Amino acid sequence: TAERLSDISRIHAALQILFPTPERAAAWLRRPNAAPLFDGGTPLGRMRGGQVSVLTAVRQYLEAQVYC
C-alpha cells in the first residue's frame, strides 16, 4: 500500500510540473498514448489494472519527462 501511495503521489507531482492546469493533466491521463508503455491505450486505463509495477513504470515515464 505504501508503495502504491508513493507512486501515485509522485505521478501527481510530475503531472503538476508538466501541465499548467489540472484539466490538462486530467486530459493527458484520459487520452490515448502511443508510447510503448501505453500501447495506444490511456495512461489511466493502464494504471487501473492494479499492478504496482505499472504505477511505478508510469511514475518513471513521467519523471523522465520532467527531469530530461
Measured distance CA(6)–CA(59) in Å, rounded: 10
Give yes or no for residue 50 having a pLDDT over 90.
no
Are the CB atoms for 19 and 25 separated by under 8 Å? yes
Measured distance CA(54)–CA(24) in Å, rounded: 22
**Full-model pTM:** 0.92
Measured distance CA(4)–CA(37) in Å, rounded: 18
Mean pLDDT, the chain, as a whole number?
96
Per-residue pLDDT tens for 6-24?
Answer: 999 999 999 999 999 999 9
